[in-house]
Amino acid sequence: MKGIVALFVLGVVASALVGATVAAKLDGHDGPGQRFDFVDRLRSQRTSMARSLGELATFLCIVSAALPPVVFIVWLVGMAGLRPQIWPGNERLFEWFQAEGDVSWLTSVSEFVTKTAEWGPIVVIAGTGAIVLALMASNTRWLPLFLILSALVAERYVQKVITGLVNEPFPPTGLGTYPSGGAARVICVYGFILFLFLQLRPGVPRGRRIALWSAIAVWAFMVGYARAYLLLHWPIDIPGGWLFGVLLLVTFVAATNAFERVFPTPMAE
């Protein structure tokens, strides 16, 4: 088995296991007393804010407060990854992907998978998901539309800010920039749609919920790997995109749980 195929298979298995493990931890049934005290305090403060400022204002405050640290963290990783004296593997990995050559079936899979994270399909899938979720949220049909639109706007424009700050040169074979938007969008947009669906349908069996989150993790890995394999990005762009997507998803999950009247059983934080 060629190394490039072995890495793909290993990544799919590892991402499935990581996604399932994290989802199982967050989907636990432990009570407040069994969680970290500071998380409980943050949750209590968010509830107090929602009662005094209103749920929408609390959502906006949490997102606004979280985005600058997100930018800083992702920027810091990008700047470190682009310095050969800190991490010399960026160009070496790029050359390795070039040298491994073309595997026909992997190329076909990669070309298909990467298209699912481009802006055209993202808008169509997100729009369809928003409409379905709006129909599910009978009393607040506007809320899923607003939340998903907010996630789309945040991903697009915060990514542009980070890209401008890092100012990474294009790879010789593509126009990808840091962080990878495709890798980020699978997590923060598709993952957020899944989160909203599960919040509106709390009766979905635990095993199925874990499987769905595991599928998101595998999807995110495959999109990232495909973009590196197709030489659209420098390798450092991919983990940067995953990190960016995870931080945005955590931000929007925490902020969305302010709408306690709509989502009375918040996902563990």
Is pTM beyond 0.85? Reply is yes
CA 241 – CA 141 distance, rounded (Å):
31
State the pLDDT at residue 33.
Answer: 40
Instruction: Establish if 121 belongs to a structural domain.
Output: yes
State the pLDDT at residue 153.
Answer: 96
Instruction: Establish if 190 belongs to a structural domain.
Output: yes
State the pLDDT at residue 165.
Answer: 96
Instruction: Establish if 188 belongs to a structural domain.
Output: yes
What residue spans of 54-141 are helical by DSSP H? 55-81, 89-100, 104-115, 119-136
State the pLDDT at residue 1.
Answer: 57
Buried b or exposed e, range 109-136, using 16+ CB within 10 angstroms? bbeebbebbeeeebeebbeebbeebbee
- C-alpha distances in angstroms, 221 versus 8, 13, 31, 246, 252? 9, 10, 32, 12, 21
State the pLDDT at residue 39.
Answer: 60
Length of the chain: 269
Instruction: Establish if 4 belongs to a structural domain.
Output: no
State the pLDDT at residue 34.
Answer: 44
Largest CA distance in the chain: 60
Instruction: Establish if 155 belongs to a structural domain.
Output: yes
Q: What is the SS3 assignment for 207? A: helix
- Domain of 202, in residue numbers: 37-256
The torsion angle over the Cα atoms of residues 247, 253, 258 and 261, rounded to 10 degrees, is 170
- pLDDT 10s per residue in the chain (269 long)? 589 999 999 999 999 999 999 998 887 644 434 444 556 667 777 778 877 888 889 999 999 999 999 999 999 999 998 888 788 888 899 999 998 878 899 999 999 999 999 999 999 999 999 999 999 887 788 999 999 999 999 999 999 999 999 999 999 998 899 999 999 999 999 999 999 999 988 889 999 999 999 999 999 999 999 999 999 999 999 999 999 999 999 999 999 988 877 765 555 45
CA 164 – CA 235 distance, rounded (Å):
18
Only one residue has tokens 């700047």, namely 79
Q: What is the DSSP string of 141-160?
A: THHHHHHHHHHHHHHHHHHH
State the pLDDT at residue 238.
Answer: 97
Residue type, 222: M
DSSP secondary structure letter of residue 265? S
Q: Please answer whether residues 2 and 105 qualify as being in contact, where contact means their C-beta atoms are separated by less than 8 angstroms.
A: no
Considering its fold, how many domains does the chain have in total?
A: 1
Instruction: Establish if 119 belongs to a structural domain.
Output: yes
Q: Percent helix, strand and coil across the chain, each rounded to 5?
A: 75, 0, 25
Residue 25 CB burial class (10 angstroms; 0-12, 13-18, ≥19): exposed
Residue type, 103: V
Instruction: Establish if 8 belongs to a structural domain.
Output: no
Instruction: Establish if 95 belongs to a structural domain.
Output: yes
Q: Please answer whether residues 249 and 190 qualify as being in contact, where contact means their C-beta atoms are separated by less than 8 angstroms.
A: no
